[in-house]
Amino acid sequence: MARIYVQGDRFVDHQGRHVILRGINLVHKGNRENQVMNYIPSWDESVFNNFKNWGFNVVRLGIIWDAIEPRPGEYNEQYLDWVGRMLDLCEKYGLYAYLDMHQDLFSVLYSDGAPEWATITDGQSHVKGELWSDAYIFSGAVKRAFDNFWNNTLAPDGIGLQDHYINMWVYIAKRFGGHPALIGYDFFNEPFPGSESTAIFETLMLVLVKTVNQAMGTQYTLEDVIEMFSQPDKKMEILDFLEDKEIYKSIAKAAEPLVEKFDKGKLDTFYRKVSQAVREVDRDTIIMRENSYFSNIGIECKAEPIVNKNGIREPQQAFSPHGYDLVVDTEGVQWASNNRIEVIFETHRRTQISMGVPVMVGEWGAHGNYSDGLYHIEHILQIFDKYLWSSTYWCYFHGFENAPVLEILKRPYPQAVCGQILFFNYDYQLKEFNMEWDEKDGNVATLIYLPQKEFKIHDIEDYSVELLDESALVIIEPTGHKRSIKISLY
């Protein structure tokens, strides 16, 4: 497989082609069997063969701290062998992969992630909410566990929690660095600020209350509005109010300084430490830097580019934001807001421009098995096309081949383009793909994935077609000039 590198704000292969990566999250968070956690799922080759036929060329492969380091300093080689087999299958089916150290609510005690020995809560109690993610805001145990991680509190063996985590990543990089399918490391899924989240949440809610009262002439209190979110009808009133992009932006903006403090403080320190440690054993694999948890909803990430020990910018890094509308993980995902999601990804676009790196959207979608609301998925993909972003949809599950969303995800896109892509899009109504690119004297072929075998190519004659099971790959020979193409699907 061609190695993938960062060049400016693009992913490129070793032949200098502009690469777009589109794929899916493949994450098994573990299931308890006879009081023991099992972290090895039953995925077989058919899963990876399906991905290839659906046009995916990248997988965000989830790995779990509790699975890798069940006891301090001891690594589970059986689990790591499984990770290696997944990477081998990716290579066999022409899929790139990046490793995502996944967590939700920090710990296996509350959801998935850190082992029990690394979950230090100082006696704080765990509080569940109506929605699983509510515990981020209301659970003292979850917040304190994050605090102790960011503060590098000593584990039971006298070594700092963060030091353990970094040592684990170095071990992973030694083992898998250089694997033909491996292109990236996603060091921490959705980093959460811990106790600093209280002020962020209160700021967001207080500004929301003030904005609602000014617009509607009401006198709601903070407690009133929080209560409204637990009442379906009242919650819809609030969500309808937040359809206004300017209102939504203003509320997100209010919490920006608090999120920036975390981005440029504890989180930046962590990324610098883990990146510099991993670079001692793997100099090339791309570092996929995430935004913090709160930037998932549109609070701008103010992170600085990662630097090495000499203070020089790390060349192989990308921004890997997540983006979800407020209705994610509820039935309301079927009526998600295109306005709010535009604000979220416009915000991520500003971060990308500031950092000057390519984007791999690590998580988005989460549409499940619903057949309604697919307009939202189409809209998001068109945003990604506009920004020339790569992405991995959340997420694969057993029976995904029957999920209605799959028909939206199977769409034309340029996988590798000679020179530089200037523009591309796909019109779902017209079933028409368009692209412009500049080959800049290049001499390698351009590859465009099509989800079906029936199509018509306009304006270009120097091409061939490779047929897959149900799809096709159009191979266009180079001319060294600016070019355009239109492809109509039947």
State the Cα–Cα distance between residues 337 and 365, nearest whole angstrom: 12
pLDDT grade for 442, boundaries at 50, 70 and 90: confident
409 and 54 in contact (C-beta within 8 Å)? yes
State the Cα–Cα distance between residues 474 and 74, nearest whole angstrom: 48
Residue 441, pLDDT > 90, answer no
Q: What is the pLDDT of residues 67-115, one digit of tens each?
A: 999 999 999 999 999 999 999 999 999 999 999 999 999 999 999 999 9
Percent of all residues in the chain with a pLDDT value above 90, rounded to a whole number: 94
Provide the CATH topology of domain 414-490: Immunoglobulin-like (2.60.40)
Residue 436 forms beta bridges with which residues? 423, 484
Give the model's pLDDT for residue 359: 98
Q: Write out the two tokens for 405.
A: 């969303």
Domain ranges of the chain: 4-205+255-410, 414-490
State the Cα–Cα distance between residues 430 and 433, nearest whole angstrom: 9
325 and 337 in contact (C-beta within 8 Å)? yes
Distances (CA, A) of 43 to 50, 87, 398, 447: 12, 12, 9, 29
Please tell me the CATH code under which domain 4-205+255-410 is placed. Answer: 3.20.20.80
Residue 232, pLDDT > 90, answer no
Q: What is the DSSP letter of 266?
A: I
Question: For residue 299, how many C-alpha atoms fall within 13 Å in the half-sphere facing its CB?
Answer: 24
Residue 185 forms beta bridges with which residues? 99, 287
Residue 468, pLDDT > 90, answer no
Give the model's pLDDT for residue 101: 99
Give the model's pLDDT for residue 398: 96
Residue 440, pLDDT > 90, answer no
CA 10 from centroid of its chain's CA atoms: 17
Element (H, E) at 185: strand 182-186
Contact partners, residue 85, CB within 8 Å, separation at least 6: none
pLDDT grade for 478, boundaries at 50, 70 and 90: very high
Q: Which residue has the tokens 């020979």?
A: 477
Q: What is the pLDDT of residues 255-298, one digit of tens each?
A: 999 999 999 999 999 999 999 999 999 999 999 999 999 999 99
Which has the higher per-residue pLDDT, 32 or 246? 246
State the Cα–Cα distance between residues 363 and 366, nearest whole angstrom: 8
Contact partners, residue 171, CB within 8 Å, separation at least 6: 75
Give the model's pLDDT for residue 34: 84
Q: Which residue has the tokens 């932006």?
A: 249
Give the model's pLDDT for residue 230: 84
Give the model's pLDDT for residue 58: 98
Q: What is the pLDDT of residues 295-339, one digit of tens each?
A: 999 999 999 999 999 999 999 999 999 999 999 999 999 999 999
Residue 233, pLDDT > 90, answer no
State the Cα–Cα distance between residues 68 and 115, nearest whole angstrom: 9
pLDDT grade for 431, boundaries at 50, 70 and 90: very high
Q: Across all residues in the chain, what is the average pLDDT? A: 97
Q: Which residue has the tokens 């709010």?
A: 340
Q: What is the pLDDT of residues 146-191, one digit of tens each?
A: 999 999 999 999 999 999 999 999 999 999 999 999 999 999 999 9
Give the model's pLDDT for residue 35: 84
State the Cα–Cα distance between residues 300 and 256, nearest whole angstrom: 6
Give the model's pLDDT for residue 318: 98
Residue 5, SS3 per DSSP: strand
Percent of all residues in the chain with a pLDDT value above 70, rounded to a whole number: 100
Residue 33, pLDDT > 90, answer no
State the Cα–Cα distance between residues 222 and 209, nearest whole angstrom: 6
CA 212 from centroid of its chain's CA atoms: 32
